[in-house]
A and B are shown apart, each in its own frame.
Chain A
Amino acid sequence: MTTPVLADLAVGQEIGSRSIDVDRARLVRYAGASGDFNPIHWNERFATEVGLPGVIAHGMLTMGLAVTVVSEWAGDPGRVVDYQTRFARPVVVPDPGTATVEVTGVVGAIDAEAGTVRIDLTVVFEGARVLAKAQAVVRL
């Protein structure tokens, strides 16, 4: 594993990006792995009955997928010491088909004294941000 060097980083620098396809099978897989069986994430009838546009991805799935950009850049996922987001919009997952989520990570702040860098993630679905204030702090 290679570790980025704090002194070589600059605010605004892009650290990586990734395009992730989410289909219904991935939602079911995440439900089983996480234990979150809320039917809005797998049952179209239920989702529309409670006023959603359709089956939506777990916010925590989107959050988990997005941070892979940070972990892979950091080299060691154990260096991600803080990770937060607000869930701004749902990712509606069609059937058949996929929802494509675009993730980009940029250096948002550097704390040389603490030895940490804040990565700001932009997570976009259908042209709009689905995660707001998605920030990960990495200890280098």
Chain B
Amino acid sequence: MAINASYAGRQYAPTDPYQVGRAKVRELAAATAATQPVHHDLVAARAAGYPDLVASPTFAVIIAQAAEAQLIEDPDAGIDFSRVVHADERFTHTRPIVAGDEITTVLHVDSITERAGLAMVTTRCELFGDATLTDHVATVRSTLAVRGEDA
């Protein structure tokens, strides 16, 4: 099935909050060799002025990819995940994510373009620290390249 370009411009309803846990902050930091104490040690994080453990710089991808599943796992969008390659990613933070945050995410499909058998799907996740969407935490932009059947 071909990619459904009519999804471009779509904005999804806010997700249920993602609860940022200390164990997940530590786990992702360890998996990416981020050894700084503010990711792992509550005393160190508080001494540095944070209310809790600080998430590592790419942590928001966990929250964003969960939100992006609304698009990718939608059969009508026509995205064959086995043909997907990650093309680019960008994190822009208003403030760091810390353990204890409850992040509500709004997914936007910014563009879908096709050329030479390759579809580029660009999404943007706006992450907020509250359900009223006033405490902006980060913007996560991501482009997936989806190879066509013949590519």
Contact = CB atoms under 8 A, between A and B. Distances in A.
- Asked if A and B are interacting partners, one says yes
Interface stretch (B7-15, B89-97, B106-114, B123-131): B89-97
Contacts of A1: 48
Q: Give the dominant DSSP class at B's interface.
A: mixed
Interface residues of B, number: 37
A34 B31 contact: yes
B89 to A, nearest CB: 6
A81 B24 CA distance: 21
B38 interface: yes
Interface string A23-41: 0001001101111101000
- Interface residue tally of chain A, by bracket? 35 or more
Nearest to A51: B147
A36 B69 CA distance: 11
Contacts of A95: none
Question: Which 8 A-B pairs rank lowest in CB-CB distance, beginning with the nearest?
Answer: A64-B32, A84-B90, A33-B31, A78-B96, A64-B58, A86-B88, A59-B86, A80-B57
Interface of B: 24, 27-28, 30-36, 38-39, 48, 50, 54, 56-58, 61-62, 65-66, 81-93, 96, 141
